[in-house]
Each structure stands twice: as C-alpha cells, then as structure tokens.
Amino acid sequence: MRLNELKAHELLPMIRRKEVSVEEVVAAILHRISAIDSKIRAYITVAGEEALKKAKEADARLAGGEPARPLEGLPVAIKDNICTQGLRTTAASRFLEGFTPFYDATVVERLKDKGAIIIGKTNLDEFAMGSSTENSAMFPTRNPWDLKRVPGGSSGGSAASVIAGEAVCALGSDTGGSIRQPASFCGIVGLKPSYGLVSRYGLIGYASSMDHIGPMTRDVRDCALILGAIAGYDSKDSQSYPGELPDYTECLVPDIKGMKVGVPKEYLDEGLSGTVRDAFMKALDKLEELGAKVVEVSMPSLKHSLAAYYVISSAEASSNLARFDGVRYGYRATGSDDSMTMMAMSRGEGFGPEVKRRIVLGTYVLSAENYDKYFGEALRVRSLVTRDFREVFEVCDCLVGPTSPTVAFEAGEKTRDPLEMYLSDVYTVPPNLAGIPGVSIPCGFDEEGMPIGLQIMARQYNEEALLRAAYAFEQATEFHKRNPEIEKYTKEPAGGEMSV
C-alpha cells in the first residue's frame, strides 16, 4: 500500500516510530497531486514548497529527540474559504482571487499547533454557495469515481482530494450540507459538528447562524481524531461552546446494542431515488442486525425546511457579502467615475451568477415590506424544525436517513435549474437549521459503482452517539474500503508514491 493511501491513524504511529519520515509522507501526497490533479482539479492552491519545508523541520525535531505532537507530519487539505496565513484564500471567487490573509483561522491554527502540515487549499462553489463545485470561479472539480460527474458541493474539492489520495484528510465547511453531501457523492466520511463546537473564526462567512467547519476523512476513526483536534471553546467566536469535551476516539466501539435509532418518514418521500432507497433500507437491516432498535418517527416541519433554509441563508449572505465592495480589499473594477459606480461594477464583475442570485433573494426578503412575510416566517419554521428534533431525541439516541436523494449526477445536468440543484440538500439542511450534528458515511454503491451515503444525526453536542453508531456500521461493512480507479483517467500511472 502506498503512503498516500494510508489513513491518519495508520500514518501517525509510523511517523512516531520513525518507520517513515514526514518528508516522505508529504512528498508522496505532492507526487499524487502532480500525477492526477490536472484531471480532478481538487486544488486551487498547492503549498508544495512550504509543506516540504515544514516536513523537514518536523523530521529535524524528531531526530533531535523532541516528542511527536498529536498530528505530527499529517498532510491536511483546507477548503479555500478558511483563512490561512500567508497562503492565498479565494473562496473560489474572482473577488478574492489575489487575497492572502495575515492570520490563520482558529481551526488551522489548532491543526498546526498539533503538528499537521497544510498541503493546499481546495476548490469549492463560490463563497460556498452550491451543491456541485460547478459554481467555482476558478474551474469545476470532477468526481474521482467518474470524471463526467460532480463531486458534490460546496466542499467538493476537499471530498475529491481525500478519496483520490491527494490528502490524508481535509477540512470542509457546511451551511446546508456542504460537508455531508460531497462526502456521500465521493464515498468518504464527512461530519458537520454541533453549532458552536468548532470555531468559525477565520471562515469567510456565508450564513453565520448555520456555518460550520468539520472534518472530511477516509474513515470514522480519522474523523473522530480530527474533530478532537479542532473542537473546543474559542473566545474569538461569539457562539463557541464553552463546555468540557470528551476524547471522541474513546467512543469508537463497535457496539450499538440497545441503541434506539429513528427514521423520519419525511426522509423517504417520492424524491428519493430507488437505488438510494434500496441501499438505505439495507443499511437499516444492518443496524438492526447490530442490535439497534429501528423505529419510524414523524417530523412534520421537515417538509418546509428547505424553503426556510434558502430564505434565511440568502438573507444572511446578503448581509455578510456587503463587505465586498472593491474599496478595502479584493477585486476592484476600473473605468468608473465615482465610488458608487465603482462598487456596483466591482460587485457585478466580481461575483458569479449563483452568488448574485442569492444576494438578490436575500436583499428582497430583508426589505421592509417583505421581512415578516418571508424572513420572519422562515425563522418560525426554523423554530418548529428545532422543536421537532428536540422532541424526537427525547425518545431516540440517533436519527438516520439518506444523505442525498441521488448519487453524484453528471456535470451540467442541474446547472440550468437552480431549484433542482437546491433539492440535492433536502436531507442535509434540517440539521443546520437546528444546530445538531450530522455525519455521512458510505453505505453502498449503485449499479455504476457510484457511492451512496448514510446520514446519522444526534442531539446537539452528542457527537459521541453519532460517532459510535457510525463506527459500528463502518466496522460491520466494507464500503469504506473501496477506492476509485483513478489511474484509468491519467495518461501515465499515478504511482511513484512511497510504498509501505
């Protein structure tokens, strides 16, 4: 097995025992990127020179007798809407194409403090607004399982980099499904934590009341490892959770006997494809086989959650993106005679079509004559969704459902109809409205070999139950062990990585 195919919990002990050097690990990842990323386009920026420099520094410290830090030498990819000091951060927008932050986001700072090495910045839908990574102003990212298909969005670059072996793990952001849906489409594990569990400081805001940062990994153990590294109170985030946190790796026991698992009947509506439904029903059988008690529950408010989400998120986006005006930083249009015209031209030229669509919608619903009719009503729906989850978790330990109603679709298939694209998030939006955690794990493949995801949800700040159920299912199945045959898309073998 090559180094770039190993998981974090396999690589880190090898580095500590000096069976492999950090430089060899980083070089293997960089070679992989060089060999295949021209086809997949997972990265906007690759920090190869700096990553190798940090790898040599880590090897020198270890050779000098210093103890290895928890994530010493781990190559991590960062979604390009998360600020990285001295490393370009674009949010996949023309507006920020040349922007280099002077500080690290809290999650990046915590990863670096624990010894992780930032390998590069991954592609996304512009300002995280999309479900396919086709809205990037840079280029679209392709799904490593089938280059004709999308990797999901908006964290499509992060998901593709992990399953393709171009990063050991990655960080994504999730406002309405942007970690879990691409995780489902690419066959990896993607976790959206409880709101406030992971600091948002340094994340370029989309909809601040629903923005989350979380891990995207090859398996559940790596997911728990990275979550533990980035979670915790941060005074720079006003919504940060101040409570004590467990060691998430300690809850990874393959035993869910007696666990009560609820299935919202609203997650099994007519929009669900037959293939995904079949895989989901088999997943329920497996959970029962493992000793869980599976029960049907009803959450009537869920049918309104998608509409409420797009009203609230667009309103918050309209407010958050008002700072991009061409005056202080970012893209500035030329040829204007006054500041107001310059700002209008800068926004018109700097923002892409989807971002403009959501800004216009958000501005409309926040107008005085429409505020209560749309935005106020959406907030009331949000309260109902939160109430429904709270009531269900009084009788269930977890909820499960499909992550997405379909497998990854072909590029261009849904770009002409925004509403059809928005429906890709119909199952992932409710946890964001309620602030509860959700994780997507592989639970099957369709007849063409495309991955299918299972979403598991738990009450707020109960990531332990979420991870326990996910780990038990993963250990009882083989889906997470399959990899795409990427070499068939390249002219030359994508080999050459250090083998172990």
Which secondary-structure segment (H or E) carries 113?
helix 106-113
184 is catalytic: no
Spell out a b/e string for 23-35, using b for 16 or more CB atoms within 10 Å of the CB, else e: bbbbbbbbbbbeb
According to the 3-state scheme, what is the secondary structure of 91-107?
CCCHHHCCCCCCCCCHH
Domain for residue 325, yes or no?
A: no
Q: Across all residues in the chain, what is the average pLDDT?
A: 96
Domain for residue 96, yes or no?
A: yes
Domain for residue 392, yes or no?
A: yes
pLDDT of 384 higher than 70: yes
**Among 210, 191, 261, 237, which residue's Cα sits nearest to residue 429?**
210
What is the per-residue pLDDT for 490? 66
427-475 pLDDT tens trace: 999 999 999 999 999 999 999 999 999 999 999 999 999 999 999 999 9
pLDDT of 499 higher than 70: no
What is the per-residue pLDDT for 307? 97
As a whole number of angstroms, the distance between CA 415 and CA 283 comes to 31
Domain for residue 178, yes or no?
A: yes
Give the active site residue among 155, 178, 194, 199: 178
| Domain CATH for 205 | 3.90.1300.10
| Side chain identity, residue 17 | R
Query: Percentage of residues in the chain with pLDDT exceeding 90?
Result: 94
Instruction: Give the residue numbers spanning the domain of 460.
Output: 3-302+382-489
Q: Which residue has the tokens 């619903």?
A: 365
Domain for residue 209, yes or no?
A: yes
136 is catalytic: no
pLDDT band at 496 (very low <50, low <70, confident <90, very high): very low
Domain for residue 166, yes or no?
A: yes
In DSSP terms, which residues pair with 143 in a beta bridge? 146
Give the active site residue among 21, 54, 79, 158: 79
Give how many domains the chain has, as a whole number. 1
pLDDT of 498 higher than 90: no
236 is catalytic: no
69-127 pLDDT tens trace: 999 999 999 999 999 999 999 999 999 999 999 999 999 999 999 999 999 999 999 99
Domain for residue 345, yes or no?
A: no
- CB contact at 8 A, 233 and 367: no
Is the torsion defined by CA of 356, 83, 460, 251 positive or negative? Answer: positive
Q: Parallel, antiparallel, or unpaired for β 451-457 and 212-217?
A: unpaired
What is the per-residue pLDDT for 270? 75
Model-level pTM greater than 0.95? yes
Domain for residue 374, yes or no?
A: no
Residues with Cβ within 8 Å of residue 467, at least 6 apart in sequence: 220, 223, 224, 227, 248, 251, 252, 439
What is the per-residue pLDDT for 486? 86
DSSP string computed for 194-256: -TTTB--TTB--SSTTT-EEEEEESSHHHHHHHHHHHBS--TTSTT---S----GGGG--S--
pLDDT of 491 higher than 60: no
Other beta carbons within 10 Å of 49 = 9
Position with higher pLDDT, 305 vs 415: 305
pLDDT band at 321 (very low <50, low <70, confident <90, very high): very high
pLDDT of 493 higher than 70: no
pLDDT of 225 higher than 50: yes
pLDDT band at 488 (very low <50, low <70, confident <90, very high): confident
Query: Percentage of residues in the chain with pLDDT exceeding 70?
Result: 98
Give the active site residue among 154, 155, 314, 424: 154
